[in-house]
Each structure stands twice: as C-alpha cells, then as structure tokens.
Amino acid sequence: MQYTEMSKQELSQVKAELQKKYDDLKALGLNLNMARGKPSVDQLDLSMKLLDMLNSSSDMMSSTGMDCRNYGMADGLPEMRDIFSQMMGVEPENVIVGGNSSLNMMFDFISCCMTHGFPGCEPWAKQGHIKFLCPSPGYDRHFAVTEYFGMELITIPMLSTGPDMDMVEELVSQDASIKGIWCVPKYSNPLGITYSDETVRRFAALKPAAKDFRIMWDNAYCVHDLTDTPDQLLNLYEECKKTGNIDMPVIFASTSKISFPGAGVAAMAAGPSNLIVFREHLSFQTIGPDKLNQLRHVMFFKNIDGVREHMKLHRNLIAPKFETVLRYLRTELTGKGVASWTEPNGGYFISVDVMEGCAKRVVSLCKEAGVVLTGAGATYPYGKDPKDSNIRVAPTYPPVSELEQAMEIFCVCVQLAAAEKLLAK
Ligand SMILES: Cc1ncc(COP(=O)(O)O)c(C=O)c1O
C-alpha cells in the first residue's frame, strides 16, 4: 500500500515496526560501504597479468620501434591510440593518450580554456562571469572542476533521453557566457541512461551564442555493458562532422574501470583545432606520457576485441551485484510510493529517488547503522539537490553478502524516513 494513502494510525504502526527493524540492524555494528564507484578486489585481480607484461628489454619497443622507456611520442603509443580510437569513435590521429586519469585531462582542458582559450576568442578567464551547464543528477567531480574555476553552474534536468535539450538549446543559443556542458552520454553517472539518437543529433546541431562553447563528452562507460542487449550510443563526433560543428565536442575515456583505477590509461579526442590548442598546452606541461604503462596495456589487451572480452569478465562479476540491489529495491519498496529507481544496462551506478525531502535523512540513518552512501546532494551542482531526493548507489565494490546486508538497511531507512516525513506533516 502507498504510504500516502495510509491513515495516521496505520502509518504510526508501520513506523514502529520499521524502527524496531532498524534498531536490530544497527545493533549488528556493521561497517559497509556503497559510496564510491570502485571496482571490487576480484575485478582488480582480473588485470594482474598486466603487471607481468614488461619483463625484458626486448619487450620495451612500440610497433614503431620506439623504446618506450625513453622520452617521446607526446600523443601516446600508436597501438594505444588505435584502441581508444575504436572505443571513442574518432580517427586515431585525433586521439591523444595521456596519463592515468581522464578527469585529469578534463581539468587540464578546462584550465587551458581559462588561461589561453581558442583562436579569435579571449581566454575564458578574461570574459568576465561565465557559466557551465550541468545535467543533473550527474557526476560530482565534473561539477567541482567548473566550480573550482569560478564558473556559475546551471542545473539541467536529466530526462530518460538525456539532458533536457529544449532547455539546453534555448540557453546556449541566447547566452554567450555559457561556455559548455558536462555529459556522460552512455550509462550516465548516476542514472545509467544512454542519450537517445535524437539527443545526440540535437547536440551536434546546437547553435551556441558563444563561439568557444564546448561539449565535454565523457564517455567513461562506453564499454561497460551489463546485459546481452547493451545500449547503443550514436557517434557525436560523426554527427558534428555533418553539421559543421567539429570544434564543439571534446571526448574523454579511460581504462580506469577496465584495468586499474588510478593506474590505467586515459585519452582525449577532438577535432583538429581543439587539438592544436591542447597539444601546445601539453607541450609545456610534460615531455610525454608514461608509455610503459600504455605498452603493458597494449600487450595485455592487444586490441579492442581484447578489451571487450575483458569487459565480459567484469560483467560476470558485477551483474549479479546490480541484480542484488535491484532485487531488494523491487521486493522491499515497490508499490509503497517511497522511492523510484533506474535499472541500467551498464555503467557503475543505480540511481534512487527517495521521497522528496528525505535523501539527507536516509543517508544519515544509513550511516548511523553502519552503511556509508554517497552524500545526499552530491549529484547536483554545489552539492544541493533541490528536492533532497536523489541517492547514488554504487553496487560494485562490496561482496554480494555485504551488499545484501547494506541493501536491507538501505530499504528500511528509505521507508523509515518516508514514514517520519509523512507523520511530521
Ligand atoms: C563519469 C566519470 N568520468 C570520469 C571518472 C574518473 O575517471 P578517471 O579515473 O579516468 O579519471 C569517473 C569515475 O568514477 C566517472 O564516473
């Protein structure tokens, strides 16, 4: 029965039962974590052979005969550029392979826009008050980068097809101080949705008032499928070629959740004029990337098919965890009007919307009972969820047995917070 349809007496009864369950669970003194989207230990074990790849000096050569132990190849190893080219859907010559983190490359790109900007335009930092669009719920660290550089963050609602494109088109076409938008187009963080073909085409067809408007297209989960019917994302770069907007998209990906987070390989792809600006920026920053890490990744994966095979091993480990979370949500919360959630075909998260005004309370109840969740509000600009409703659940790290305990507590907390809220009215 829907909580909103219960009498005060019925609801008080339900609340008392939930409180009892909650107190019993809290007394177990658990210490569980569903906060950050990290691969589990057994996922990390899948890539251990990568560390044994470089054993003798004859292993150190790239396909071009370059000794990877030395300086050089600022754009990265050709074999690694090939793999990313196929992951990102951009020609290898327009791919720069960087260091260990795509977020680092995004930060550097924005930093370069701030201090140097693009030909014919002032650097962003010299253009006065500037703004960035943040489809929400979204990835907190994206928002944090543009907040760090002093931009005003504008929340764009996420729909089941991607960001609200009516709003994006209207804002971008009228306001030259809007410099860009953050996007996670496939299995978005945290909703797990993939932008529809129409959304991608509308992005490619944008007519921004700002000549230096950029789409930060973070395709972090491009190969992270969890089902036999994976989502298909239309290629923004190809669409932008058709619309003559090739300078707009800047595309990112990494092997963080393929090999090792923090010790993987990241890449960026973009049209030629963006690359001229960014390569110059990089040339002052570094003499070159860590090619030995790139080389051992190439030796381990061999090619894009190797990456896809490896992702099936990840899927075998994490699909049951997603299923566990969803099973609890469906069994415990369906039909009560206390929460709705996404059921993604891939990525790293399940997004739960609890009753309005309850997310902070749920997170704090969970914490008291030993379950750490991503902070309420984290998925919105400035950490402020206007409805105090969204909670990002990250199922990958804990073993299934711990997830079951954590989800039992989570579901009790979601119901308890809703009952408290309704009774307080
Ligand atoms: C959407 C998205 N982009 C980027 C990252 C971080 O990637 P990297 O480790 O390559 O910096 C994450 C990590 O959770 C993410 O969810």
Q: Could you give the percent of the chain with pLDDT greater than 90?
A: 95
Our separate counts of H helices and E strands in the chain read 13, 13
238-244: list long-range contacts, CB under 8 Å, 24+ apart: 238/89, 239/200, 239/201, 239/203, 239/204, 240/204, 240/271, 242/204, 243/204, 243/205
pLDDT of 57 > 80? The answer is: no
The mean pLDDT of 42-71, rounded to a whole number, is 91
- Amino acid symbol at 316: N
In a domain, 51, yes or no: no
Count up the domains in the chain and report the number: 2
CA of 62 to the centre of ligand 1 (A): 27
Q: Are 95 and 269 in contact (CB under 8 A)?
A: yes
Distance CA 133, CA 153 (A): 6
CA of 384 to the centre of ligand 1 (A): 21
How far is C-alpha 74 from the geometric centre of its chain's CA atoms? 27
pLDDT of 299 > 80? The answer is: yes
- Cβ atoms < 10 Å from Cβ of 335: 8
Of 302, 317, 344, the one marking the end of a domain is: 302
In a domain, 56, yes or no: no
Domain encompassing residue 404: 3-44+308-424
Task: Tell the residue number behind the tokens 């969740």, with chain if given.
Answer: 373
The mean pLDDT of 75-88, rounded to a whole number, is 97
Q: Is 146 in the pocket of ligand 1 (CB under 6 A)?
A: no
| DSSP-H helix ranges across 62-164 | 78-88, 102-115, 140-148
| Range of weakest confidence among 53-57, 182-186, 202-206, 312-316 | 53-57
At 103-136, the pLDDT tens digits run 999 999 999 999 999 999 999 999 999 999 999 9
Distance CA 171, CA 120 (A): 22
Domain of 362, CATH number, reads 3.90.1150.10
Atom of ligand 1 nearest to the CA of 36: 14
Of 302, 335, 352, the one marking the end of a domain is: 302
In a domain, 55, yes or no: no
At 205-239, the pLDDT tens digits run 999 999 999 999 999 999 999 999 999 999 999 99
Q: Are 36 and 262 in contact (CB under 8 A)?
A: no
Domain check: are 173 and 227 in the same one? yes
DSSP label at residue 55: -
- List, in sequence order, every residue forming a beta bridge with 180; answer none if it has no partner: 132, 214
Q: Are 320 and 87 in contact (CB under 8 A)?
A: no
Q: Is 261 in the pocket of ligand 1 (CB under 6 A)?
A: yes
Provide the token pair at 315.
């899927």
At 345-389, the pLDDT tens digits run 999 999 999 999 999 999 999 999 999 999 999 999 999 999 999
Q: How far is CA 389 from CA 160, 181, 226, 230, 298, in A?
A: 17, 23, 26, 28, 43
Residues near 41 by Cβ (< 8 Å), separated by ≥ 6?
none
How far is C-alpha 392 from the geometric centre of its chain's CA atoms? 11
CA of 372 to the centre of ligand 1 (A): 20
Domain check: are 116 and 238 in the same one? yes
Of 281, 302, 323, the one marking the end of a domain is: 302
Domain of 78, CATH number, reads 3.40.640.10
